[in-house]
Structure 1
């Protein structure tokens, strides 16, 4: 199985990007992981929130394969602790799917079309974080999940 993270807009903070790269490298020892960054939409000042979500939604949907399982990182999604998240990952791996895709949307969330296509929603916290921080937190939690599944000492119970 491959896990793919799709996110809108690049990470411009070098320190954050360095940490993202570190956890991405660590994660590669457990699973094939891809991060795909969709560039920020140009001229957003001329677009309403709905138009921006629609344009971002089209770009997100164009990155998907027909067989992908799509999970949105959304503030109204299901919350897990780290152990339960590792079990969630294991269930998806056991299901024999080819690619599990997680998406971090733009500043206004997702278009209705993206919500309709989604197979689920996941929330990392009730708090709001920057899109750049969520990338780091999510990739670290993926890494933590796999160390839990392998019974490695990174996660202390």
Structure 2
């Protein structure tokens, strides 16, 4: 299985980008992983929230393949412990999924079309985090999940 993380907008913080890159490199020992950044939508001041979500949705759809399993990071998604998340990924791999695409949406969430196409929603917390921080958290949790699956000492009970 390959995991693709899609995110709207670039990371402004070089410190965060360095940490994200570190976990991306670590992940390569376990799985094919790709971080794909969708450029910020231009002229958002002239767009309503719905229009902005629709434009972001169009950009997301352009990056999907017909066989992709689409999972949204969403505040109303299912929350997992790290061990539960590792089991979730293992089940996806056992199901023979070729590519799972995890999407971090824009500031207003996702368009209806994206919600309809999604096969799952995950939540990292009930708290609100910046979209830039979420990138680091999800990449680290994917890495942690694979160390759990391999019984490596990164994760402690």
Once residues 85 and 111 of structure 1 are traced to their aligned partners in structure 2, the CA distance between those partners, rounded to angstroms, is 25
Q: Which residue of 1 aligns with 2:68?
A: 68
Q: Which residue of 1 aligns with 2:45?
A: 45
Cα deviations by residue, 1:57-97 (Å, 9 ceiling, x for unpaired):
00001110000000000000000000000000000000011
Once residues 116 and 61 of structure 2 are traced to their aligned partners in structure 1, the CA distance between those partners, rounded to angstroms, is 11
Once residues 79 and 65 of structure 1 are traced to their aligned partners in structure 2, the CA distance between those partners, rounded to angstroms, is 26
Once residues 131 and 14 of structure 2 are traced to their aligned partners in structure 1, the CA distance between those partners, rounded to angstroms, is 15
Cα shift at 1:12: 1.0
Cα deviations by residue, 1:85-122 (Å, 9 ceiling, x for unpaired):
00000000000111011000000000000000000100
Q: Which residue of 2 aligns with 1:33?
A: 33
Counting only pairs closer than 5 Å after superposition, residues 41-120 of structure 1 correspond to structure 2 as 41-120=41-120
Q: Which residue of 2 aligns with 1:142?
A: 142
Once residues 144 and 23 of structure 1 are traced to their aligned partners in structure 2, the CA distance between those partners, rounded to angstroms, is 10
Query: Unaligned stretches of 5+ in structure 1?
Result: none
Runs (4+) of structure 1 moved beyond 3 Å? none
The alignment of Structure 1 onto Structure 2 pairs a total of residues equal to: 157
Once residues 111 and 28 of structure 1 are traced to their aligned partners in structure 2, the CA distance between those partners, rounded to angstroms, is 31
Once residues 66 and 92 of structure 1 are traced to their aligned partners in structure 2, the CA distance between those partners, rounded to angstroms, is 17
Cα shift at 1:130: 0.4
RMSD across aligned positions (CA) = 0.4
The two structures have a TM-score, normalised by structure 2, of 0.99
The two structures have a TM-score, normalised by structure 1, of 0.99
